[in-house]
Structure 1
Amino acid sequence: MSSATLHYIYDPLCGWCYGAKPLVQAAQAVVPVQAHAGGMMTGRNRQAVSSQLRDYVMPHDRRIAEYTGQPFGQAYFEGLLRDHSAVFDSAPPIAAVLAAEALGGRGLELLGRLQTAHYLEGRRIADRDVLLELAQALGFATVEFEAAFDQVIGHELDEHIKASRALLAKVGGQGFPTLALERDGRYQLLDISSWLGKPEAFAEWLKTSLGADSGPHDGAIQACGLDGCAL
């Protein structure tokens, strides 16, 4: 069997990416997974938390919970989404994930922790202090992690997001999450809609299908758009 890589194009503030988290974790036991952050809520797309934002995202998030089985906490719905001093900005958590990857190949591990912190615990993952605290809790040395984080913010983040968007276009993805299986330089876009909430089945499909030329393409793809999640 030829070597394969599963490319995962995501955003840390994408609800459907959180919904797909168990699938990505299950896939890691089968095939190397490479994460690419698309920067959905960066720059002009950063948003301060407001009543309007809460009213918009809550039905969307409840649909994700129902569709995927992923839990959304009261600390998120009734805490973070009512905190009008908070800002939804993808750039800092993306930088933290890239720092974790640079330091120990643990970017996906930190991403999973950040998703839980945001959607279940209602933490402000755009805040530097929160990111450093969560990284330290995973065993990263604070000074080393902070230096890597600053390196990404200052010199690498914009190029990473640009490259991720280019890859998204190359594989034919429309939003986040996008998963594409690369074998021998060829990319196969995967429709994971039918696997959401079924990580074990997805892992089994990967095990038996890595040598095949086609994957599941049925159903309406559940994803966030390039500049935000639509209902």
Structure 2
Amino acid sequence: MILHYIYDPLCGWCYGAKPLVQAAQAVLPVIAHGGGMMTGANRQTVSPQLRNYVIPHDRRIAEYTGQPFGEAYFEGLLRDETAVFDSAPPIAAVLAAEQIAGRGLALLGRLQCAHYEEGRRIADEAVLFELAQDIGLEPQAFQAAFNKAETDRHIKDSRAFLAEVGGQGFPTFALEHNGQFNLIDISPWLGKPQAFVAWLSQSLPGQASSLELQACGLNGCAH
């Protein structure tokens, strides 16, 4: 079984789901698909309008999931009207980390913390290279892979996959078993990563019939 995770690095609910993703990796393979929420015409420069739109959502996410949002984000990045929110560069960084070291999800987690806790500009290449080095990626190999990343194609494929599995947005989680995909509603598990892992590791009580999912035991997932 494989858990597919369709995400965007600038999606607050994806940051809210970060502990679930990290916990799930101990149980079964997790494949990340970057959806490109803020790319092309949807790129945005930080503005009072953007700030006023995202802050109520982010405070709700923090309350619902327990994920920390820093003052450097609320009072720093969201007031920096020279900053641009663009999903493509961080997605390219995740692809590069995955290609050279199989560590795309590790870098994604670092990018999310940098954005939402530290108020860093994760669309800036210099910041991305620094954060990649933070998690131990070799700088030259990372930069070469970053420059060659087929980000637009990846986003297009991720959007097609999102439509194929019937997802409505980010994050979307789908379990793959024998070529069949079943969506997971993660809302009951937000803020409860150990409960989520227990649910994945056992026969799924209650929800198994409606989701038509088989369990992935602790020793039953081939990596």
- TM-score (normalizing by structure 2): 0.92
- 2:13·2:61 contact (CA, 8 Å) conserved in 1? yes
Q: State the distance in 2 between where 1:108 and 1:214 align.
A: 29
- 1:5·1:33 contact (CA, 8 Å) conserved in 2? yes
Match of 2:186 among 159, 183, 192: 192
Q: Encode CA deviations 1:70-89: one digit per residue, 9 max, x unaligned.
A: 00000000000000000000
Is residue 132 of structure 1 aligned with residue 126 of structure 2? no
Q: State the distance in 1 between where 2:209 and 2:134 align.
A: 42
- 1:173·1:189 contact (CA, 8 Å) conserved in 2? yes
Is residue 142 of structure 1 aligned with residue 136 of structure 2? no
Q: CA-atom RMSD, angstroms?
A: 1.4
Matches within 5 A, 1:31-50: 31-50=28-47
Q: State the distance in 2 between where 1:7 and 1:214 align.
A: 19
- TM-score (normalizing by structure 1): 0.89
Identical-pair percentage:
74
- 1:92·1:128 contact (CA, 8 Å) conserved in 2? yes
Is residue 205 of structure 1 aligned with residue 199 of structure 2? yes
Query: Which amino acid in structure 2 is aligned with residue 181 of structure 1?
Result: L
For structure 2, the 5+ residue unaligned runs are: 213-223
Match of 1:74 among 47, 71, 74: 71
Give the aligned partner of residue 17 of structure 2: 20
Query: Which amino acid in structure 2 is aligned with residue 11 of structure 1?
Result: D
For structure 1, the 5+ residue unaligned runs are: 217-231
Q: 1:5 to 1:116 in 2, by over 3 A?
A: same
Q: State the distance in 2 between where 1:210 and 1:57 align.
A: 35
Q: State the distance in 2 between where 1:188 and 1:27 align.
A: 16
Give the aligned partner of residue 178 of structure 1: 172
Q: State the distance in 2 between where 1:23 and 1:141 align.
A: 27
How far off its partner does 1:213 sit?
Answer: 5.7
- 1:195·1:202 contact (CA, 8 Å) conserved in 2? yes
Match of 1:114 among 108, 111, 115: 111
How far off its partner does 1:210 sit?
Answer: 6.9
How far off its partner does 1:168 sit?
Answer: 0.5
Match of 2:162 among 165, 168, 177: 168
Query: Which amino acid in structure 2 is aligned with residue 109 of structure 1?
Result: A
Match of 2:93 among 67, 90, 96: 96
Q: State the distance in 1 between where 2:5 and 2:37 align.
A: 14
